[in-house]
């Protein structure tokens, strides 16, 4: 199950990130503006924002097998169908809405919640391996997609991706077994029970100060990562004079950085003050955007930025999930992480749309990078306001619910 999640995440995130390689081709082949091209990407993120809490709640109640399999089938239809798009509306409907539902169901929070139900011992390691497909798995997948798009064209490449998604969906249906009946986790769940109504669980979550601060920070995080870097990094690299292969290779290095960052900061979250750790990551991300605006001077700077930003990108999520476990608990972790990821996706959708609008207005990406500097710093402020409720490691005290 972990292996299937790893591979599925690699191709799922690779398919979503491939849009940055396809944007210039769509503009040349079909005459779409940057705003039209970015609208589909923002629709994906909007559907993820709306669908993630629903998928998380369904996973809490019915398990991962059905939710993830249906998500992969949605991706197969949406991504594969996009290969036949000739008008922006086709692209909006297939890649934006249909595939967007799939992306909401096969995401880092959903895989985290799914794996949590299958493991007691070595749960952290299992989650790390499964989620690593979204980070380290992107290097070979994006490199492969870049080669396929250059040799076979983007339409044939998207058809191949659609077939692969359908195969993964069948594997999930055949190989996922029922999760553990007895979860030995004794973490408190803030007085929330799975039998409570959705409304009562939502009321308790939105009355939780820590949840609201994390929601604000993670929403701004989405703007600065999936909103602008995932969509506009490669087009920006091309505008700086680099080739598509060089840009996609740098983005692949970004994926390796994600893998290293997830492992490093997951370990650090068990040993240091977590809100301060999370805040420092956001502040360093703000500085990384300043470096991004100087990559045209040297290709090595582009790769340095990709590595640094990658280390600071996906690594925010395991730290946030670690905080969620001790402040809220694991009994409704699917709904909690789904809501947080919904905010992340909504922030990303705004970033995609604003970035396309700014580029059409100025023919430059610098303005969107400066906006990202400010928002990353603001996310750091939200994070530092979270109170650490975990006792020092050298004491036996139990954490407050």
Assess if residue 394 is contained within a domain: no
Predicted confidence (pLDDT) per residue in 192-243, tens digit? 555 567 788 888 889 999 999 999 999 999 999 988 998 889 889 999 999 8
Assess if residue 392 is contained within a domain: no
Assess if residue 309 is contained within a domain: yes
In this predicted structure, what is the pLDDT of residue 118? 76
Assess if residue 390 is contained within a domain: no
Looking at residue 300, which CATH number applies to its domain?
1.20.1250.20
Q: Please tell me the pTM assigned to this model.
A: 0.74
- Half-sphere exposure for 396 (CA within 13 Å, toward CB): 0
What range defines the domain where residue 347 resides? Answer: 2-384
Cα–Cα–Cα angle for 105, 111, 116, nearest 5°?
135
- Judge whether residue 131 has pLDDT over 90: no
Assess if residue 302 is contained within a domain: yes
Assess if residue 226 is contained within a domain: yes
**CA trace torsion 297, 302, 304, 307 (10° rounding):** 170
- For tokens 């946030």, what's the residue? 320
Predicted confidence (pLDDT) per residue in 266-323, tens digit? 788 878 899 999 999 999 999 999 999 999 888 999 999 999 999 999 889 888 888 8
Predicted confidence (pLDDT) per residue in 105-120, tens digit? 998 888 888 887 777 6
Assess if residue 264 is contained within a domain: yes
Pair 214, 324: CB distance under 8 Å? yes
Assess if residue 365 is contained within a domain: yes
When divided into structural domains, the chain yields a total of 1
Length of the chain measured in residues: 401
């Amino acid at each position: 199950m972990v292996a299937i999640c790893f591979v599925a995440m690699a191709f799922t995130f690779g398919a979503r990130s491939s849009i940055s390689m396809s944007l210039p081709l769509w503009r040349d082949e079909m005459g779409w503006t940057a705003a039209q091209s970015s609208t589909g990407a923002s629709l994906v993120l909007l559907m993820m924002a709306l669908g993630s809490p629903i998928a998380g709640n369904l996973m809490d109640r019915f398990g991962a097998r059905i939710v993830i399999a249906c998500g992969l089938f949605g991706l197969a239809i949406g991504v594969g169908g996009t290969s036949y798009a000739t008008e922006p509306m086709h692209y909006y409907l297939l890649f934006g809405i249909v595939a967007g539902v799939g992306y909401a169901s096969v995401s880092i929070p959903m895989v985290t919640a799914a794996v949590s139900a299958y493991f007691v011992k070595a749960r952290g390691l299992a989650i790390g391996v499964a989620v690593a497909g979204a980070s380290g798995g992107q290097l070979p997948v994006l490199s492969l997609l870049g080669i396929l798009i250059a040799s076979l064209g983007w339409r044939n490449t998207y058809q191949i991706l659609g077939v692969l998604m359908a195969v993964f969906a069948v594997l999930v249906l055949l190989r996922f077994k029922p999760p553990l009946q007895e979860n030995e986790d004794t973490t408190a769940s803030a007085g929330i029970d799975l039998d409570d109504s959705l409304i009562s669980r939502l009321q308790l979550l939105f009355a939780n100060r820590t949840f609201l601060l994390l929601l604000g920070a993670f929403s701004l995080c989405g703007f600065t990562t999936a909103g602008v870097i995932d969509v506009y990094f490669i087009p920006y690299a091309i505008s700086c004079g680099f080739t598509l292969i060089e840009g996609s290779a740098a983005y692949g290095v970004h994926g390796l950085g994600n893998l290293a960052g997830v492992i490093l900061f997951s370990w650090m979250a068990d040993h240091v003050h977590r809100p301060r750790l999370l805040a420092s990551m956001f502040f360093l991300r703000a500085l990384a955007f300043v470096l991004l605006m100087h990559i045209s001077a040297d290709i090595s700077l582009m790769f340095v930025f990709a590595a640094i930003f990658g280390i600071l990108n996906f690594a925010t999520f395991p730290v946030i999930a670690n905080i969620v476990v001790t402040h809220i608990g694991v009994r409704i972790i699917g709904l909690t992480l789904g809501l947080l990821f919904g905010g992340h996706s909504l922030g990303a959708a705004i970033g995609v749309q604003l970035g396309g609008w700014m580029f059409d207005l100025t023919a430059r990406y610098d303005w969107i990078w400066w906006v990202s500097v400010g928002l990353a710093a603001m996310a750091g402020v939200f994070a530092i306001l979270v109170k650490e409720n975990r006792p020092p490691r050298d004491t036996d005290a139990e954490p407050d619910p």
